Chain A
Amino acid sequence: MSTPEIRVGDSDLAELEPAVVQSERRRSEWLMTLSEAWRMGRTKIGVGIFLVIIAIAVVGPWVAPYSPTELVAPPFSAPDIPKLWLGSDYIGRDVLTRVLYGGRTVILLALAATVIGLGVGVTLGLITGYARRWIDETIMRLLDVVLAFPQIVLTLLFVSILGPRLWLIVLIVGISHAPRIARVARAATLEVAQRDFVRAAEAFGIARWKILFNEIMPSITSPLLVEFGLRLTYSIGLIAALSFLGFGMQPPSADWGLMINENRIGIVIQPWPVFVPVLLIGILTIATNLIADGLGRALIGIERDTGVG
């Protein structure tokens, strides 16, 4: 640095911290991250789109004009408003109806998989970050092995061995997230575990698991929140991809991923049963990604302003 840099003492910085920031920070970190993220346009857009798609998935089945399995027209009929808004699919079912029905499974399965991944990942991250030494080394190296496989390959491997069962898909997708979440949780834990309040709890002889969940966990919620948003995006993509490959929902279920696969042969004459599910899955992942991005930026902003991570 060319001129002596002007740096302000920490004690003096504290005096300038706006009172508002202070009161929010101590309540709970993740609430603060949320409110900070909400101030950003990208988060609002993300949440908006996400809610619209959730609404389609939740309300859809009630407003659908037909039953999802009912044959209403010849295969690959072109749209005929107002009878067939999006035309019919490869065996003559109403595409609009199947679109309205087909969102639930993707969203639910993706959420379930993400929650499982978060649970397993956070637990492993807390344990490795706190225990250090050989436990850390062993678990992290094992997770590296899991990380070495692309998630889709790993999932396909297990599904092809054990068969296309829904619970299995959710479980495998969740577990394939765990190493990445564990790394984030571990990094945050390492830093918090250094602080003296953890030493103080140790000196009292408080059980390790209580230290992990009562002392350390509340301080690492923000990075985990960001991670949740990001992993949800990947879950949606993965679950849809598995359906497309025929390992997810089985016919005759209405499912966006499955629809793309079933109708791709007719894409030239009747593109809607492929195009609309693709579009919705794409928009959904963009929305969750925008939310995760907003949270991530909020987190960085908060760390920069307060020095608290």
Chain B
Amino acid sequence: MAREAAPAGEREAVLKVHGLRIVLDPSGVDIDDEVSLQIHRGEVLGLVGESASGKTTVGTSLLNYQRRGAKIEAGRIEIDGQDVLSMSTEALRKIRGGAISYVPQDSSASLNPALRIGKQLLEILEIHGFGESQADREARRAEMMAEVLLPSDEQFLRRYPHQLSGGQQQRVAIAMAFANRPRIIVLDEPTTALDVTTQAHVLDTVRDLTRSYGVAALYITHDLAVVANLADRIAVMYAGRLVEVGTRDELFDEGHHPYSRKLLASIPDITGERALRGIRGWAPRPGQRPSGCTFAPRCDWVIDKCRAEYPPVEEVSPGHTVRCWRYKEVGAQAGVFETVELRDKSLSQRAADVREVISVRDVDAYYQHKKTLHDINTSLSERHCLSLVGESGSGKTTLARCIAGLHPHRIVGDIEFNGKRLAREARDRPRATRQAIQYIFQNPYSSLNPRKTIGQILSQPLGVFFDLSRSETEDRMADVLEKVALDASLLSRYPDQLSGGERQRVAIARGLAAEPTVLICDEVTSWLDVSVQAAIIELLASLQRDMGLSMLFVTHNLALVRSISQEVAVMTEGRIVEFGLVDAVLEDPQADYTKKLLSDTPTV
């Protein structure tokens, strides 16, 4: 391979991208523009951006791959001095999976379900002509499995992808990506679908392998916290352009772009020392991006110039570039974080006279014939927020659904609301109870009927629980939309015209329209970008405080707990292993499981 001679003392850049512009074909709307970056040997570059920022498109373009409807219009991509964009199909086929490899978000979809994993791993070595003999390749396969901390015995290799856990599948995908000792590896949110514990393992593996092989890695994510301890350098992407590129420390300690700073402030802080701050609005989709600086509508620093002209690339220090008209002023402002408390801290002491709204006593729950909850005892106090934390499969959602009356299977034990036993199914509960307990679903893409307007969706609880005239209904709907910071003009829209964050706000508004006293939030931010998550948490915390709601907040993210709740219950394998005041539990965890969860949660 032709390699550019690197000047002495300077590390060689394995990957060079210059002036990349990718557009939608045939409309010509740009997805990405003016993207230039370099990655050196053994370096991890974190590419961070919100949904629809065009980060995945950049990632796949490094393999000269564009999905249907997208086209590279301008720019150069060089791998070891070779121009990827001018390569023949045959040459591309050789370098894909060879010199450059890709780890997708959902590896379960990229592994062939009909092939045993041992066979799949050998196949990729064979195709790229690795080693002299089958024995060589088998040795390499064993080596790879060891590197990703998976067993390489015959029994394990004979398994099919569906017989592996999500984390194991992702590690197999990583093993395949590293198999042919690539020069560059593109990782597209490989841990998004995984639990924190598994995520921690996968991140460790990626870090170790890139260092030991001297691979240049591009790690794409929407979560700054994930790359905080992994990436050497971070590139922040907004609306298809790189707005700031710098080392990890340059970005975290002296970010010069308002967006970088805001992204940082939206990372939940497990220590509870700084406030969680969302970014208002949402990232614009291609074709809907404003002229001038695309971030201007969401920026606190905006001046007239920003709306007129996109700022040029400025160099703050060697290697640290930023695109902002006011970067000097932004950079000069000390302190990225605010220290405002969202939750009502005065409630953090558990007073003896606090009334229990929901009491759960000795509850076992079944799914068909399998027992999924074991001996659950917990309670939700009036005007308090209780966080229910656990990984997937811990039973936290089952418990929340039992309380909400949405678990149509066997439940043993008592769930009480204001001292009265609740019927198992919501349908069998009195109307006043159904009204008082509202449930917000995890996935706003599935919880709003796509065939109904926002107005029709919001009028549903109003119609069931209140006897209102048409104009009163309209007023109420405008009211609840205002509470969740949405405009009443959305009433005539359909859910798929809204962004994920807006949809979740509508779902919250639907719950609030019933005027509940108890709000159950089931992983309400897990489908959202970190920046939007922060805004939703802010909203929920203020609603809970101002409306005096009692809230059950279900989450897999321990880092969120301090920002919103006073009490926490930690669940695993259908049991509550720790229950207490948030500060006490997080500062001095008693259960081993809590300790492990705490150490695996990524922090900034």
A binds B: yes
A positions within 8 Å CB-CB of B: 1-9, 11-16, 19, 22, 25-29, 195-197, 199-206, 215, 218-219, 308
A219→B450 contact, CB < 8 A: yes
| Contact flag A9-B105 (CB < 8 Å), given A2-B124, A203-B404, A203-B405 | yes
Decide if B297 is an interface residue (CB 8 Å cutoff): no
List the A residue with the shortest CB-CB distance to B433: A205
User: Which residues between 308 and 358 of chain B lie within 8 Å of chain A, taking CB atoms?
Assistant: none
A218→B451 contact, CB < 8 A: yes
Extra A-B contacts (13), CB below 8 Å, given A16-B31, A204-B514? A3-B124, A5-B104, A5-B109, A7-B105, A7-B110, A9-B189, A16-B24, A196-B442, A196-B446, A197-B447, A199-B439, A206-B460, A215-B449
Shortest Cβ distance from residue A210 to the other chain B in the assembled complex, whole angstroms: 10
Give the CA-CA distance A9 to B103 in the complex, in Å. 12
Decide if B127 is an interface residue (CB 8 Å cutoff): yes
Residue of A3, A4, A14, A218 with most partner-chain B CB within 10 A: A4
A3 contacts across to B, CB distance below 8 A:
93, 96-97, 101, 124, 127
B441 contacts across to A, CB distance below 8 A:
196, 199-200
A15 contacts across to B, CB distance below 8 A:
31, 51-52, 54, 285-286
B positions within 8 Å CB-CB of A: 24, 31, 51-52, 54-57, 60, 63, 65, 67-70, 93, 96-97, 101-106, 109-112, 120, 123-124, 127, 173, 176-177, 188-189, 285-287, 404-406, 426-427, 429, 431, 434, 438-439, 441-443, 446-452, 460-461, 464-465, 494-497, 500, 510, 514
List the B residue with the shortest CB-CB distance to A203: B426
A308 contacts across to B, CB distance below 8 A:
450
A205 contacts across to B, CB distance below 8 A:
426-427, 429, 431, 434, 464
| Contact flag A2-B127 (CB < 8 Å), given A7-B109, A203-B405 | yes
A14 contacts across to B, CB distance below 8 A:
51-52, 285
B101 contacts across to A, CB distance below 8 A:
3-4
B109→A4 contact, CB < 8 A: no
Shortest Cβ distance from residue A207 to the other chain B in the assembled complex, whole angstroms: 9
B451→A29 contact, CB < 8 A: yes
B404 contacts across to A, CB distance below 8 A:
203
Shortest Cβ distance from residue B492 to the other chain A in the assembled complex, whole angstroms: 11
B103→A8 contact, CB < 8 A: no
Give the CA-CA distance A201 to B406 in the complex, in Å. 11
Q: Which of A8, A22, A28, A203 contacts B451 (CB 8 A)?
A: A28
B429 contacts across to A, CB distance below 8 A:
205
List the B residue with the shortest CB-CB distance to A216: B449
List the B residue with the shortest CB-CB distance to A11: B51
| Contact flag A4-B110 (CB < 8 Å), given A200-B447, A219-B451 | yes
Give the CA-CA distance A242 to B452 in the complex, in Å. 44
Give the CA-CA distance A105 to B461 in the complex, in Å. 48
A203→B464 contact, CB < 8 A: no
A1 contacts across to B, CB distance below 8 A:
110-112, 120
| Contact flag A199-B406 (CB < 8 Å), given A5-B110, A12-B56, A22-B496 | yes
B434→A204 contact, CB < 8 A: yes
B460 contacts across to A, CB distance below 8 A:
200-201, 204, 206
A204 contacts across to B, CB distance below 8 A:
426, 434, 460-461, 464-465, 514
Give the CA-CA distance A26 to B496 in the complex, in Å. 7
Give the CA-CA distance A33 to B510 in the complex, in Å. 30
Q: Which of B70, B97, B439, B451 contacts A26 (CB 8 A)?
A: B451
Shortest Cβ distance from residue B112 to the other chain A in the assembled complex, whole angstroms: 5
Q: What are 10 A-B pairs at a CB distance below 8 A?
A: A1-B110, A3-B127, A6-B104, A12-B57, A197-B446, A199-B441, A199-B447, A200-B439, A204-B464, A218-B449
| Contact flag A203-B446 (CB < 8 Å), given A6-B60, A219-B451 | no
| Contact flag A6-B102 (CB < 8 Å), given A25-B496, A200-B510 | yes
- How many A-B Cβ pairs are below 8 Å? 138
Shortest Cβ distance from residue A164 to the other chain B in the assembled complex, whole angstroms: 43
| Contact flag A7-B104 (CB < 8 Å), given A25-B496, A204-B434, A204-B514 | yes
B176 contacts across to A, CB distance below 8 A:
4
List the B residue with the shortest CB-CB distance to A28: B451
A202→B52 contact, CB < 8 A: no
B434→A203 contact, CB < 8 A: yes
A200 contacts across to B, CB distance below 8 A:
439, 441, 447, 460, 510
Give the CA-CA distance A245 to B217 in the complex, in Å. 76
A26→B177 contact, CB < 8 A: no
List the B residue with the shortest CB-CB distance to A5: B110
| Contact flag A26-B56 (CB < 8 Å), given A7-B110, A196-B441 | no
Shortest Cβ distance from residue A299 to the other chain B in the assembled complex, whole angstroms: 16
Which 5 A/B pairs are nearest by Cβ-Cβ distance? Answer: A3-B97, A26-B494, A196-B447, A11-B51, A218-B451
Give the CA-CA distance A138 to B494 in the complex, in Å. 38
A11 contacts across to B, CB distance below 8 A:
51-52, 500
B464→A206 contact, CB < 8 A: yes
B69→A16 contact, CB < 8 A: yes
Give the CA-CA distance A205 to B439 in the complex, in Å. 13
List the A residue with the shortest CB-CB distance to B57: A12
List the A residue with the shortest CB-CB distance to B429: A205
Shortest Cβ distance from residue A34 to the other chain B in the assembled complex, whole angstroms: 16
Give the CA-CA distance A15 to B450 in the complex, in Å. 18
B57 contacts across to A, CB distance below 8 A:
12
Shortest Cβ distance from residue B360 to the other chain A in the assembled complex, whole angstroms: 18
| Contact flag A4-B102 (CB < 8 Å), given A196-B441, A202-B427 | yes
B106 contacts across to A, CB distance below 8 A:
7
Shortest Cβ distance from residue A54 to the other chain B in the assembled complex, whole angstroms: 31
A16 contacts across to B, CB distance below 8 A:
24, 31, 67-70, 286
List the A residue with the shortest CB-CB distance to B52: A15
B102 contacts across to A, CB distance below 8 A:
4, 6
B112 contacts across to A, CB distance below 8 A:
1
B60→A4 contact, CB < 8 A: no
List the A residue with the shortest CB-CB distance to B448: A197
B173 contacts across to A, CB distance below 8 A:
4
A9→B56 contact, CB < 8 A: yes
B31 contacts across to A, CB distance below 8 A:
15-16
B452 contacts across to A, CB distance below 8 A:
218
A28 contacts across to B, CB distance below 8 A:
451
B497→A22 contact, CB < 8 A: yes
List the A residue with the shortest CB-CB distance to B427: A205
Shortest Cβ distance from residue B426 to the other chain A in the assembled complex, whole angstroms: 5
B123→A202 contact, CB < 8 A: no
List the A residue with the shortest CB-CB distance to B461: A204
| Contact flag A4-B104 (CB < 8 Å), given A22-B496, A26-B494 | yes
